[in-house]
Chains A and B, each alone.
Chain A
């Protein structure tokens, strides 16, 4: 809480200071979200910021708003308007080689406030940077690259937000670095942070559910078991081919002892992910995707609905079909897009029957997006999804329209 108050003070003092100067003095530093010289690991800094005069503090953020009309098997909640998130960035260059950046997210109209990122970076060499604070664990690509304006779809990928817990961040320290050689770029990240807790297998979702650990805000104060969570990633990018990343996150998740008393055996969580993105030069088609495997040591006696293995991912295909000045927007782009996604919450078979444990879903989301500028997107999606219960009974069919707008500011 103290950190939140402190960040607010910094933020509001910055805004007040800016309010007294001519707005033309603000330096807008927009970034093209598909810039070719960046990698996924750069996502936190590759955002547009406003900087007032010579002030070392930069401010930015983004907002998402959407409308949806979605139904499941003939039942719909009707027409729904939401502002799923409003995010503020505050950054500061303390020294040319010392930077601070924070990301505070307001969800559900401010009902939920989360510090998703608040870290100090000290740059020693390009291949050796130190980062400490609240960091976003670099598992997959979406976790660090989750800003709404970057995507052509109203919803975030289910596998990355509900199987992997994007946005997943925690307190810790680590190193990262990047090196360019001709068309090639190589990057690495490795961090030690606080980890997950028992809620990943003891939650109201009735399944192994990593995002349940996000509810535990004590993780920003202390580890629930004293064991660090290791997160590491290696990524390679070729300017002409694309980027591929391999990442791992793992550690003991449960509270196995308290006050020196052994409560349970140590139980591990291990996650592997692969992500890629590329842009086809001939057609300008942009393809990005991610797949992850989750392995959890679930007590054998705990019930089979809590799976010990999960897997899932998504692939987005975005095809620009119109790119020219329009209505005063110099670089307006119209995209056609489609997302395919799949999650198997429970990989395995029933002990009693040997039959497959279902508990899975797949979705296809075609859409059209319009970007009047690179930082702003209007999108129309149609979501069609089928979801089966653990037994593999007839799937629930979920479908509907989603219209959204998202923009950096």
Chain B
């Protein structure tokens, strides 16, 4: 009978202990370990729109009844960008149809392959013999800061003829904007085309372009911006409202930038120095400052994305044979490195890096750099193991 006394006492103590300590509600992960969350300084009205965009981006799942497909790549925005981070090879998408810069897109079903279909339909198949490029979904954090930069700021880093002789010649991708694109004062068009900033080849002019296209090409959902159904090619009633699209654009604009971890760690600081020494920073431009913008919280902010938003020749190993806009088949936009160390938290505990996720570690990704990055890659290979470790630790801290 004694157990009847001490068992309940022990059990009740155990329960009270659990209830009494911090585990009643699990603690939030540290802010620096998360990619989601708004930039500081939003007004209440802006926070409200951020929340609406957050729900539309992360929680809204499309079904055949709400417009999914009939052919599609994913069922929601959050499927491809878990926690607003990089995506996984299972949600990669394929672009095809343009094999020469500035040439027409003429393959049936191009520019994007909808490789999934709702029941009763067949997914799109890649036409035979057409070059294609696979793209893993990028992280979507800090995009508003990049969007706020002026074209002039981006153009200041171009060097198409490599006049400084450093072997690096970034160029913008000039793309034809969609009809609904309304240029702001700081845009500098060239022959009716505008600088693309978003996407693996910088094919999207702004976040509205990126978002409306993604709804249409990724989910098979039409809007007033992109009214053509990807399967039939016909105009359909909008399946997502203008307001929802704009809420998602606002959400993407106001997602905070990744926060660097351990910035003062001696190894991280040493790695940062090596990053500059071996000229990684020539393309992965560390620092930018925004001008005045329509969102106060984004105005006059200095931030550290580690990208120049320009296209660079990455060598034959990364030449997929397909292209977008004025980009060559071997050119890729410098991806931002911020948040790199948090990639495994959204990629199932592993790294899937480079544009198509083919690199499974940071070192592997560095060694895949060719073309204009060949010199930096060679210098990386000459580093001592300790220096390599410091460099990678720095990259993981971003």
**A residues at B contact (CB < 8 Å):** 69-76, 198-199, 201-206, 254, 263-264, 267, 299, 301-305, 319, 321-322, 334, 336, 350-353, 355, 358, 366-368, 380, 382, 384, 389, 391-394, 397-401
Greatest chain B CB density within 10 A among A204, A350, A391 is at A391
The answer to whether A202 and B348 touch (CB under 8 A), given A302-B118, A399-B23, A399-B26, is: no
The smallest beta-carbon distance between B68 and chain A, in angstroms, is 8
Contacts of B387 in A (CB 8 A): none
3 tightest Cβ-Cβ pairs between the two chains A and B: A74-B28, A71-B25, A397-B26
Q: A301-B115, A301-B116, A358-B348 are in contact. Are A74 and B15 (CB under 8 A)?
A: no
Is B90 a contact partner of A351 (Cβ separation < 8 A)?
yes
Q: Contacts A206-B75, A322-B4 hold; do A382 and B19 have CB atoms under 8 A apart?
A: yes
Q: How far is the CA of A334 from the CA of B7 in the complex (A)?
A: 12
Residues in A neighbouring B116, C-beta threshold 8 A: 301-303
Find chain B residues with CB under 8 A from A199 CB: 63
Contact residue among B12, B63, B350 (Cβ-Cβ distance under 8 Å from A368): B12
Within 8 A of A (CB), among B184-225: none
Interface stretch (choices B119-127, B229-237, B284-292, B389-397): B119-127
CB distance from A156 to the nearest CB of B (A): 21
- How many positions in chain B have a CB within 8 Å of any CB in the partner chain? 47
Determine how close the nearest CB of chain B comes to the CB of A394; give it in whole angstroms. 6
Cross-chain contact A394 with B345 (CB below 8 angstroms): yes
Instruction: Compute how far the CA of A205 lies from the CA of B63 in the bound complex, rounded to whole angstroms.
Output: 10
- Bound: A201/B119 CA distance, A: 9
25 A–B pairs (Cβ distance < 8 Å), ordered by A: A71-B24, A74-B26, A198-B119, A202-B64, A202-B119, A203-B63, A204-B60, A301-B115, A302-B116, A302-B118, A305-B79, A336-B7, A353-B89, A353-B90, A355-B350, A382-B19, A382-B24, A384-B18, A384-B23, A389-B82, A391-B88, A392-B348, A393-B83, A393-B345, A398-B26
Instruction: Let me know if A352 and B92 touch, CB within 8 A.
Output: yes
CB-CB contacts below 8 Å: B57-80 with A: 60-61, 63-65, 68, 72, 74-76, 79
In the complex, the answer to whether A301 meets B26 with C-beta atoms within 8 Å is no
A305 to B18, CA, bound (A): 34
Question: With A203-B63, A301-B115, A322-B8 known to touch, is A401 a contact of B88 (CB < 8 Å)?
Answer: no
Best-surrounded residue of A75, A301, A400 (most CB of chain B within 10 A): A301
Minimum C-beta distance from B30 to chain A (A): 10
Q: Which chain B positions have C-beta within 8 A of A368? A: 8, 11-12, 15
B19 contacts across to A, CB distance below 8 A:
382, 401
**B25-66 contacts to A (CB < 8 Å):** 25-29, 60-61, 63-65
Query: By the criterion CB–CB under 8 Å, are B61 and A206 in contact?
Result: yes
Determine if B117 and A73 form an interchain contact, defined as CB atoms under 8 angstroms apart.
no
**CB atoms of A299 and B117 under 8 A apart:** yes
Instruction: Given A321-B8, A399-B23, decide whether A301 and B122 contact each other with a Cβ distance below 8 A.
Output: yes
Distance, CA A204 to CA B56, complexed state (A): 12
CB distance from A303 to the nearest CB of B (A): 5
Q: Which residues of A contact B65 (CB under 8 A)?
A: 202
Expressed in whole angstroms, the minimum distance between the Cβ of A304 and any Cβ of chain B is: 6
- Asked if B75 and A71 make an inter-chain contact with CB atoms under 8 angstroms apart, the answer reads no
User: In the complex, how many angstroms separate the beta carbon of A57 from the nearest chain B beta carbon?
Assistant: 42
Residue B14 at the chain A interface, CB threshold 8 Å: yes
Contact B63 A202 (CB under 8 A): yes
